[in-house]
Homo-oligomer: A and B are copies of this chain.
């Protein structure tokens, strides 16, 4: 792309000034429309060292109310970030509805650097660009405007700018070793940039190459592209997108009605003995996980009153508190609701070597959000694939993913609801909403069956915990966790 691209002709100085004023006014006016229209705008600036990414961002944001934007400099991943999946630090930065995020370099630079440093081989590169394409597609599918700029300067211009920076004590620190290396290997870097641009150039989030030889002119190009793209995005009242097919390996799951619950019990004494033994064993494994830096994600979904909480408690007790976290997931808060629905889970991912336990999960999208109409049909139908993609990222990162469906029958639920209602100490656990959900049992069952069928991948299969006898379910959960962890620790 860089090779075939030709810069547009720079206008005369006076024209440039006039056009700049015009486009600045337009951006100023568009702010409120973006807010009204709830459009989230993610703007990525990539490009050559010394091409002026930072200063351009500085210029652009002058036209926007500070409440409406955030700037993030993504240079090198922090130690905290390195211990999480590649996309984590980018997903973390996505804007809320009606707001901008400006990124000063991002996934392009990180990937190109990996290639140049030789840390990213052929297959890893393929996977990486696939991840990026999925990430961007998920954002645009979910209504985001994703704008990507590549700031282009030639080798001579880069030399001139670097020299200027290096000549002053106040600015010489801004030229890093990598910047120097990049300049010395300009041709090689150009080739890698070119390939990365090409491999991440999507119809829904294309690259815009900016002639950054002149700062004013670069600013005008960026501003005009930005404003034109916002205009286009605002024209779409509704925007349903094709639902991609699942391309991940699936494992067969039974329908809920086929799950045998009878006889899945364990005697009290045996339970106490086994529980203790399993918890000790899990505790040992936890230490090894920590040493080997393997991340673990355990998720619980199931009927109300199925016994998720107690189950989680038994697992958690076996673990070193410094190495795990339980995330109870309620309805999203406003700042969560106004972002991609996976955002609040991406941001809660554990560091490697740690365990995250989710009490309810991202599967809310295809259960409660689907049934209550909190998202569109297109949204939840697309979500199966989005979730499989999300879990694939976690798997490729090296995570063990353990997904539990805690199963009881309708009668057992009624018994437990009534018990809760009649027991003053447990009354807080039962709400009107629980009763309302219970009325929709059949609809939920349909949704759950579809979910189990479409998201039980070989790398993140569902496990059923028969929980009419909660003790049985706890023992089973611990056994499954131990078995799966031992597989990766061998």
Contacts and interface: CB of A to CB of B under 8 A. Distances in A.
Interface stretch (A56-64, A198-206, A267-275, A301-309): A198-206
A250 interface: yes
A141 B203 contact: yes
A interface, over-half SS: loop
Interface in A71-127: none
B6 A378 contact: no
B232 A241 contact: yes
A237 interface: yes
Contact of A245 (B9, B206, B246, B453): B206
Contacts of A203: 133, 137, 140-141, 202-204, 241-242, 244
Contacts of A240: 232-233, 235-236
A208 interface: yes
A242 B204 contact: yes
A368 to B, nearest CB: 22
Interface string A237-280: 11111111111111010000000000000000000000000000
B247 A4 contact: yes
**Interface size class of chain A, counting residues whose CB lies under 8 Å from the partner chain:** 35 or more
Contacts of A5: 245-249
A229 interface: yes
A446 interface: no
Nearest to A205: B242
A387 interface: no
A245 B209 contact: yes
A324 interface: no
A451 interface: no
Contacts of A250: 6, 8
A247 B9 contact: no
Contacts of A252: 9
A20 interface: no
A300 interface: no
Pairs A-B, 5 closest by C-beta atoms: A235-B240, A6-B250, A232-B240, A137-B203, A6-B249
Given A8-B453, A141-B203, 18 more contacts: A1-B247, A4-B247, A5-B245, A6-B458, A9-B453, A137-B203, A140-B203, A203-B203, A203-B242, A203-B244, A204-B242, A206-B242, A209-B245, A228-B243, A232-B240, A235-B378, A236-B238, A236-B240
